[in-house]
Amino acid sequence: MSKKPLILGIESSCDETAASLITENEQGDPIVLSNIISSQVDVHKDFGGVVPELAARSHIEKIDLIVQKAIDESGAKIQDIDAIASTAGPGLIVCLSVGLSFGKALSASLKKPFIAVNHLEGHALSPKLNSKLDYPYLLLLISGGHSQFLSVSGLGKYKRLGTTIDDALGEAFDKTAKLLGVEFPGGPQIEILAKKGNPNKYDLPKPIFNKGGCNLSFAGLKTAVLKISKNIKTDQEKFDLAACFQKTIEDILNKKTNVAFKEFEKQNIIKNKVFVAAGGVAANKGIRSMLINLCKEKNYQSMFPPINLCGDNAAMIAMVGLEKFKSKQFNYLDFPAKPRWSLDTDAIFLKGAGVKL
Ligand code: KG4
Ligand code: ZN
């Protein structure tokens, strides 16, 4: 029996310091041996958002303890690690630099390969941590910084089909939460408040609903929420606005996913139609169940990472590390931190005023 690869993943791109060890079984399925996440919610709560300088300081204070804990919990020895995979981007440069430098230093001292990981590829491969997932598949990546439809045809092979032209979906959830007076990070709370409200009370806009292919836009929605929130007096009205926001998002994603299905089918020869939703917002149960139903209707198999691996974590970084290790894709230690790093480097920039769809 040959030794299975043992990969250490390190993540520090935003406000989570995380480390994880993964390996695989005889069938080649990944096994998560440890998955340690230290969130900085308390550090940023009073500021209503992530403060880069404070985030970086917190990563520096914790990174060695978190990595040590991941190694201890895995039951493995540090010498048995076969490769170190660190997030190199996209994200906040002061934060990325912490996990990236730590990973490189460990790689140099252990004399083991170093793998630079795109954080978005971590989200893209996260469903592989608990299910078999073959290429090609259609990916809806919805997080705090990104909202995209991508056709995934292999490791590192991404074609963007659509993207947000303004805010990311997670950002829209967080801003709505803030307007409703919910403490940072409020995104997940919207879903809870929405359950108590009337989803038909307010008529919210659905920007570029009937145009722009499967591109997305959420800025106009935020402005409408802002206007209504100024006149809210009761808790019930707050719940109603949350419910309307949640429903509007589900309607937009339903429509745009349908468009993305068609784009995906045009561009790929498909035996099994597979749809994956990943990223922090994919933890939203209302969005999940709408997508599951849509997939059933359109004969797609729907796949999601486990709820606890939707948000930022290092197991997904180690997962990319494992795939790259097996195909011997290593990086030199001068690999830079990349605050911007698209999965589809050929895709044109589609953001801001004057965007033509
Ligand atoms: O993927 P992630 O952890 O970090 C980034 O890479 O950005 O995503 C974080 C985003 C936040 O905006 C958060 O509010 C949102 O995901 N989020 C949710 C839910 N859980 C997390 N949004 C809506 N419903 C949820 N249940
Ligand atoms: Zn993320």
The answer to whether residues 80 and 142 belong to one domain is: no
Tell me the mean pLDDT in the region 47-58: 91
The answer to whether residues 181 and 283 belong to one domain is: yes
Question: Average model confidence (pLDDT) for the chain?
Answer: 96
Question: Is pLDDT above 80 for 282?
Answer: yes
* DSSP sequence for 184-211: SS-HHHHHHHHTTS-TTSS----TTTTS
The answer to whether residues 280 and 201 belong to one domain is: yes
Q: Is 170 in the pocket of ligand 1 (CB under 6 A)?
A: yes
Q: Who's near 333: CB < 8 A, 6+ residues apart? A: 104, 107, 108, 114
Question: Is pLDDT above 70 for 354?
Answer: no
The helix (H) or strand (E) run that includes residue 157 is strand 157-163
Q: Measure 244 CA to ligand 1 centroid, in angstroms.
A: 19
The answer to whether residues 183 and 53 belong to one domain is: no
The answer to whether residues 159 and 216 belong to one domain is: yes
- 345 belongs to a structural domain: no
Predicted pLDDT at 198: 98
pLDDT band at 353 (very low <50, low <70, confident <90, very high): low
* Cα atoms found within 13 Å of the Cα of residue 178, Cβ hemisphere only: 16
- 333 belongs to a structural domain: no
Q: Measure 124 CA to ligand 2 centroid, in angstroms.
A: 10
Q: Measure 23 CA to ligand 2 centroid, in angstroms.
A: 22
The answer to whether residues 174 and 59 belong to one domain is: no
* Whole-number percent of the chain with pLDDT over 70: 99
Q: Is 122 in the pocket of ligand 1 (CB under 6 A)?
A: no
Residue range 156-208, pLDDT digits in tens: 999 999 999 999 999 999 999 999 999 888 889 999 999 999 999 999 999 99
Q: Is 174 in the pocket of ligand 1 (CB under 6 A)?
A: yes
Q: Who's near 57: CB < 8 A, 6+ residues apart? A: none
Predicted pLDDT at 48: 79
Q: List the domain range (segments joined by +) for residue 89.
A: 7-128+309-326
Predicted pLDDT at 1: 61
The answer to whether residues 92 and 30 belong to one domain is: yes
Tell me the mean pLDDT in the region 229-246: 97
Q: Is 280 in the pocket of ligand 1 (CB under 6 A)?
A: yes
The answer to whether residues 75 and 15 belong to one domain is: yes
Predicted pLDDT at 356: 72
How much is the pTM? 0.96
Q: Is 89 in the pocket of ligand 1 (CB under 6 A)?
A: no
- 141 belongs to a structural domain: yes
Q: Measure 144 CA to ligand 2 centroid, in angstroms.
A: 7
CB atoms within 10 A of CB 272: 10
Q: How many domains are there within the chain?
A: 2
| CATH code: domain of residue 296 | 3.30.420.40
